Amino acid sequence: MTSHPLRPTVLSLDGGDAQPLSVRAKALVFHDPASCAILDYVEKIGPSEAPVLLNGQTGTGKELIARHIHSLSGRTGPFMAVNCGAINDNLSESELFGHEAGAFTGATGRREGWFEAAHGGTLFLDEIGDLPQLLQVKLLRVIQEREVVRIGSRKPIHVDVRLITGTHVDLDQAVRAGNFRQDLLYRINIAQVTLPPLRERPGDVLPLAAHFLQVYSRRMNRTVASRLSAEAEQLLLSYEWPGNIRELENVIHFALLVAGDAVIGPEHLKITGGWQTGAVSGNGAVSGPQQSQGAVDPLQSIGHGLKALFNGPSADHFANLEELIVRSAFEYARFNQVHTAQLLGISRNIVRTLLKKYDLIR
- Yes or no: say if 285 and 279 are a contact pair by the CB < 8 Å rule: no
Q: Find residue 12's DSSP bridge partners.
A: 27
What is the mean pLDDT of the segment spanning 238-262? 89
Most confident of 20-34, 293-307, 313-327: 313-327
Domain holding 31, by residue range, is 2-196
pLDDT at 89: 67
Question: How much of the chain, in percent, has pLDDT values that exceed 90?
Answer: 42
Residues 216 and 85 placed together within one structural domain of the fold: no
pLDDT band at 305 (very low <50, low <70, confident <90, very high): confident
Q: Would you say residue 114 has pLDDT above 80?
A: yes
What is the mean pLDDT of the segment spanning 24-51? 90
**56-70, 138-152, 270-284, range with the lowest pLDDT:** 270-284
CATH of the domain at 341: 1.10.10.60
Residues 30 and 166 placed together within one structural domain of the fold: yes
d(CA 200, CA 247): 15
In a domain, 312, yes or no: no
Residues 134 and 70 placed together within one structural domain of the fold: yes
Tell me which of 136, 163, 196 is where a domain ends: 196
pLDDT at 306: 78
Alpha-carbon 186 to chain mean position: 22
Pairing of strands 52-56, 162-167: parallel
Q: Would you say residue 295 has pLDDT above 60?
A: no
pLDDT at 72: 95
- Yes or no: say if 273 and 234 are a contact pair by the CB < 8 Å rule: no
What is the mean pLDDT of the segment spanning 320-328? 85
d(CA 114, CA 112): 7
pLDDT at 84: 86
**91-95, 146-150, 231-235, range with the lowest pLDDT:** 91-95
Taking the model in full, what pTM does it have? Answer: 0.71
What residue ranges in 176-322 does DSSP mark as E strands?
191-195
pLDDT at 336: 81
- Four-point Cα dihedral 293, 299, 303, 306, nearest 10: 120
* Cα–Cα nearest to 215, from 351, 347, 18, 6: 18
CATH of the domain at 259: 1.10.8.60
Residues 245 and 133 placed together within one structural domain of the fold: no
pLDDT top residue among 319 and 5: 319
**What is the arrangement of strands in the sheet containing 79-83, beginning at the earlier edge strand?**
79-83, 122-126, 162-167, 52-56, 191-195
pLDDT band at 283 (very low <50, low <70, confident <90, very high): very low
For the stretch 42-75, pLDDT in tens is 999 999 999 999 999 888 999 999 999 999 999 9
What is the mean pLDDT of the segment spanning 120-127? 94
User: How does the average pLDDT of the chain come out, rounded?
Assistant: 82
Residues 108 and 43 placed together within one structural domain of the fold: yes
Residues 111 and 185 placed together within one structural domain of the fold: yes
Ranges of H-type helices in 133-170: 133-145
What is the mean pLDDT of the segment spanning 223-236? 88
In a domain, 112, yes or no: yes
pLDDT band at 98 (very low <50, low <70, confident <90, very high): confident
For the stretch 5-16, pLDDT in tens is 345 677 776 543
Residues 13 and 152 placed together within one structural domain of the fold: yes
Q: What total number of domains does the chain contain?
A: 3
pLDDT at 14: 52
pLDDT top residue among 106 and 58: 58
pLDDT band at 212 (very low <50, low <70, confident <90, very high): very high
What is the mean pLDDT of the segment spanning 194-216? 93
d(CA 153, CA 103): 8
Residues 333 and 208 placed together within one structural domain of the fold: no
In a domain, 302, yes or no: no
pLDDT at 6: 42
In a domain, 155, yes or no: yes
Residues 228 and 80 placed together within one structural domain of the fold: no
Q: Would you say residue 287 has pLDDT above 50?
A: no
- Yes or no: say if 278 and 288 are a contact pair by the CB < 8 Å rule: yes
What is the mean pLDDT of the segment spanning 23-27? 68
Residues 239 and 190 placed together within one structural domain of the fold: no
